[in-house]
Amino acid sequence: MVDICVEVWLYGPLARYGGSDGDVFAQMTAQLPEMSTVQDLLAHLGLPTEERGITFINGNLSAMPGLQPDLGHVLSDGDRVSFFHLKSMWPFQYRHDVSAVAEFSEAMQMREDGGIRSLYET
């Protein structure tokens, strides 16, 4: 099976999953089998999904605290994934009309509230 390389950025306390002894950020490259998912990447890093907050894949929003529909998202060679800690804040006004992966957009559309809230629960 062909491997893919994924660029991973881990911010705040999540940096420890990238080998950093600090808590600012870590950057690394993960080599995974082709057709690997975000869930596979998390397992590779040893990062429990519950510890991550806002997540971006190639600059597109894929997860927020309590709303993580990206676990089955298939990664491609050269993708860049950024994981932010649960305490990382993202201004509310930027949450709407943001570019997002298909799984996240679909999850938001299926919500009764349309995703207009500050805290998301599964």
With contact defined as beta carbons under 8 Å apart, do 64 and 54 qualify? yes
Percent of the chain with pLDDT over 70: 83
Residue 97 has pLDDT above 90, yes or no: no
Residue 94 has pLDDT above 80, yes or no: no
> Residue 119's pLDDT is what?
53
Segment 48-68 shows an average pLDDT of 91
Give the integer Cα–Cα distance in Å for 34 and 11.
25
> Residue 96's pLDDT is what?
59
> Residue 67's pLDDT is what?
85
Domain 3-110 fold: Ubiquitin-like (UB roll) (3.10.20)
Lowest-confidence segment of 3-17, 21-35, 68-82, 104-118 by average pLDDT: 104-118
With contact defined as beta carbons under 8 Å apart, do 17 and 8 qualify? no
Statement: the pTM of the whole predicted model exceeds 0.85: no
Three-class SS string for the chain?
CCEEEEEEEEEHHHHHHHCCCCCCEEEEEEEEECCCEHHHHHHHHCCCHHHEEEEEECCEEEEECCECCCCCCECCCCCEEEEEECCCCCCHHHCCCCCECHHHHHHHHHCCCCCCCCCCCC
With contact defined as beta carbons under 8 Å apart, do 82 and 9 qualify? yes
Domain parsing of the chain, residue ranges: 3-110
